[in-house]
Structure 1
Amino acid sequence: MLLRFRRTLVAAVLAATAVVGVGGWAVADGQTALTGPPPGTAAWRADTVLGVRLPDPGDAGPEEVAAFFAGLTPAQQEALAVRHPLVVGNLDGAPFRLRYRANALALDEERRTEQARADDPALSGARRTAARTRAERYATLAGRQVLAFDPRGRGQVAEVYGDLATARRTAVVVPGSDIDLMSFDRAGDPYGTPAGMARELRTAAGEQLAVIAWAGYTTPVGVGLDAAASDLAAAGGPRLHRLLAGLAPHGGPATVFCHSYGSVVCARAGLGPGQAAALVLLGSPGTDADHAADLRVPVWAAERNDTDWIGDVPHVSVLGLGHGADPTAPGFGARLLSSAGSHGHTGYFAPGTASLANFTALALGDTAEVRCADRAPECHDAN
């Protein structure tokens, strides 16, 4: 009986499009979360050139990492980035410019490796094509402010728009399903990717804001149990927590924009006032929380537009499937902001929309400038 009920629930959730994030209908593909320290950690741990123990990427917090690098000369920092680019480029707490430098080196090395595979006649045509595509992808990231890069699996990346060292405020965009290194930005869907969202927010806010497009966790792919469950979010949440902990000393707590399945990741990050100024949920299937107060920081939710298919997802949580209460429902307790002018699941950051104007105000800390949804005229007084 229990198994039959579970199967019935799965069918119902998937039939309602079950939280696929930005990709629309697709074939389900189960994912294994990428966890643990970055590639190259073994060599980093064995490095004794400086005569001191290097902070362990597996357990050193951002504060410890920051203190370690503060004690090094610029030449010593550069040498570590050259010897261990994938480690230094992913160490939360390391200087931002050093991480950009390390990731540029790592991207170039991976590009050359994939290009060599693309030129190898011993490989099949399909493998050579895949290698060429990946090499071209790495090339497009050259010269950009890449804050994190991991080539394993589907690949992960984070990019900064603006200057983290001088900006008055910081924002982070956390995407939903079907996002990875290859789909981090797409010309055909400019506002439905973390890069596109971050670019528009930075353009609207100007130099006083720095925005991070963070594709730093393993996202669900297509319609499947991964999207209806929270396992991938549970693995991604701590990674988001470390990122935000590393940012907090530089611009105060960041405003975090959580799109679709990214809402579940944000909720699983265990954030407090020290890491996040606010969570902003958009196109959200739920957060696994019963009430906004459970998330411990101010929570805003963008009113769902009529053409966003996420509205058809059942707001249930049974036997580990579904993500619970609707964040736009009055009983959830989020501050409901207007998204007038937006269209579809990926249109909330489009220029000219009330949602983008509201996101800009929130990112800059100008909460009094937020336009509430028509059905929640007192949104400033919520939470």
Structure 2
Amino acid sequence: MVLAVLLTSGWLHRNETLEPGGQAGQLQAWRQDTITGTDLPDPLSGPEVVADFFASLGHRKQFLLAERHPLVVGNLGGAPAEVRYAANRHALAAAREREQTRSQDRRLSPVGRHESSRRAHRLSSLLAEGRQILAFDPTGSGRVAEVVGDLDEAERVSVVVPGVDTDLLTFERTRLRYRAPVGMAHALYAQQREADPGRRTAVIAWADYTAPRGVKVSAATAGPAEEGARRLTATVAALPGDATVALFCHSYGSVVCGLAASDLPKRVTDIAVAGSPGMRAAHAGELGTRARIWAARSPADWIRDVPHLAVGPLGHGPDPADPAFGALPVAGEDVPGHGGYFLPGTDSLTAFGRIGAGLVDRAARGGEGPYCVPRGLPT
């Protein structure tokens, strides 16, 4: 029963075994552990319970738990951000050591050794000084989330939700940097600071769900997005402080955001989609949220040719960039294709920076023309 709950909640992958070094094994060890005679909280007990537990501990004990159970603490909503960062450094280092060993194992095929070498290289990059890894799971193709900026001090938090083919290896890129989640997050953070230098912001590059692979049947269904929506909702609910939140959802990530919309905390004031195949709703008003809905689509984006329909389990519904959908328009005329919405200098990134900084009255169509902010929504 416990395993079924953990699978349903997204804590575990379905192919995960109870290996001591894996997340399932560490969850089992966590449930059996105590600290100074006190039981550890259930990982599913909610961020408030977890936060209260960690607040009752001294600094040394918090980091001791991060070292003992890195794959649990590193993904535990409600645990202090700095403790999660530390836990994930332990988890990343252990994962890198395993991949480095596998890359030299002659029992593996050359392709397998090469894949392990690539993963070890990516893990080394994630371990670089100053990086703040908020979530990490090496199982399968890997899940990861990273914070840019100071999450604890932020007045506004933005979450970048990417689409298909996002995993550990594609989380960041050297070439085509701004088409990968890390590059998107850094570009958005810089644009927010330019838009309002006095506003304290943070951006999360969030690849903490199992995205579909390629433009295949799985990308035309809501299955992966349903799991992603649950995980995204949990991430936002566990954010520290009282910062307001904006979501920036690219491609299939907009399906995730559409499904999450009705369950997201009220602190989410804006949901911006770019290159969207649909949000699993016929109209913005059917998303079940008071957040402002924004949409951008480039004339050069191939997504315009995808049938924006929903027939049974296939398809994601109308194009959010169609005026009939009811979303607020974001300029995208200068975006060079499906992956270019976060390129520095584009009108879309300029508008996203304003939305992220809370300057929503200057975000629609690059700030040209009047735009009335709906009453009751903070910025």
Length-normalised TM-score, structure 1: 0.86
The corresponding residue for 1:53 is: 39
Aligned partner of residue 184 in structure 2, secondary structure: helix
- The separation in 1 between residues aligned to 2:112 and 2:291, in whole angstroms, is 47
Q: Contact 2:154–2:243 at 8 Å: present in 1 too?
A: no
Partner SS, residue 147 of structure 2: strand
Deviation at 1:76, TM superposition (A): 0.9
Q: Does 1:76 align with 2:70?
A: no
Structure 1 residues 298, 359: closer, same or farther in 2, change over 3 A? same
User: Residue 247 of structure 2: which of 256, 261, 264 is its match?
Assistant: 256
1:267 aligns with 2:258: yes
Change (3 A) 1:49 1:323: same
The alignment's C-alpha RMSD in Å is: 2.2
The answer on 1:285 being equivalent to 2:285 is no
Aligned to 1:20: none
One of 242, 245, 254 as aligned partner of 2:237: 245
The answer as to 2:202 corresponding to 1:210 is: yes
Structure 2 CA distance for partners of 1:84 and 1:231, relative to 1, 3 Å:
same
Please state whether the residue corresponding to 1:205 is helix, strand or coil: helix
Aligned-pair CA distance for 1:351: 1.2
In 1, the alpha carbon distance for the partners of 2:265 and 2:135 equals 24
Name the SS of the counterpart of 2:263 in structure 1: coil
What secondary structure is seen at the aligned counterpart in 2 of 1:268?
helix
Aligned CA distance change for structure 1 residues 323 and 276 (closer, same or farther; 3 Å): same
Whole-angstrom distance in 1 between the partners of 2:186 and 2:107: 41
1:50-81: CA deviation from partner (whole Å, max 9, x where unpaired) = 32221222x22111111111111111101100
Q: CA deviation at 1:167?
A: 2.2
Query: Contact 1:334–1:382 (CA<8 Å) still a contact in 2?
Result: no
Indicate yes or no: 2:207 matched with 1:221. Answer: no
Displacement, 1:273?
A: 5.1
TM-score, scaled to structure 2: 0.87
**Partners of 1:83 and 1:311 in 2: CA distance:** 49
**Residue in structure 2 matched with residue 168 of structure 1 by the alignment:** 155
Aligned to 2:15: none
Aligned to 1:231: 223
1:312 to partner: Cα distance: 0.5
State the structure with bigger RCO (CA 8 A, min sep 6), 1 or 2. Answer: 1
Pick one of 348, 361, 377 that aligns with 1:355.
348
- Counterpart among 329, 333, 353 of residue 326 in structure 2: 333
Larger deviation, residues 308-317 vs 340-349: 340-349
Name the CA shift for 1:118/1:226 in 2 (closer, same or farther; >3 Å).
same
Identity %: 45
Aligned amino acid, residue 227 of structure 1:
A
What residue number does 2:173 align with?
Answer: 186
Q: Kindly state the Cα deviation for residue 122 of structure 1 after the two structures are TM-superposed.
A: 3.5
1:126-166 deviation per Cα after TM superposition (whole angstroms, max 9, x unaligned): 32222222111111101311100000010010011111112
Residue 123 in 1 paired to residue 115 in 2? no
The alignment partner of 1:301 has SS state of: strand
Corresponding residue for residue 91 of structure 2: 106
CA distance in 2 between partners of 1:229 and 1:218 (Å): 13
For residues 34 and 156 of structure 1, do their structure 2 counterparts lie closer, same or farther at Cα, with a shift above 3 Å needed? farther
CA deviation after TM superposition for structure 1 residue 33, in Å? 9.7
SS at 1:250's partner residue? coil
Distance in 1 separating the partners of 2:8 and 2:165: 13
Which of 153, 161, 168 does residue 140 from structure 2 map onto?
153
- Contact in 2 for aligned 1:272/1:297 (Cα 8 Å): no
AA matched with 2:11 = G
C-alpha contact (below 8 Å) 2:85/2:134 kept by paired residues: yes
Partner letter of residue 285 of structure 2?
A: A
- The match for 2:294 is 301
CA contact (8 A) 2:229 2:256 kept: yes
SS in 2 for 1:278: strand
In structure 2, give the amino acid aligned to 1:148.
Answer: A
The equivalent of 1:18 in structure 2 is none
Paired letter, 1:264: V
Aligned twin of 1:64? 49
State the AA in 2 paired with 1:222: G
- Matched positions, count: 349
In 1, Cα distance between equivalents of 2:370 and 2:145: 35
Distance 1:337 1:132 in 2: 41
Shift of 1:333: 1.1
Task: Give unpaired runs (5+ residues) of structure 2.
Answer: 1-6, 13-22
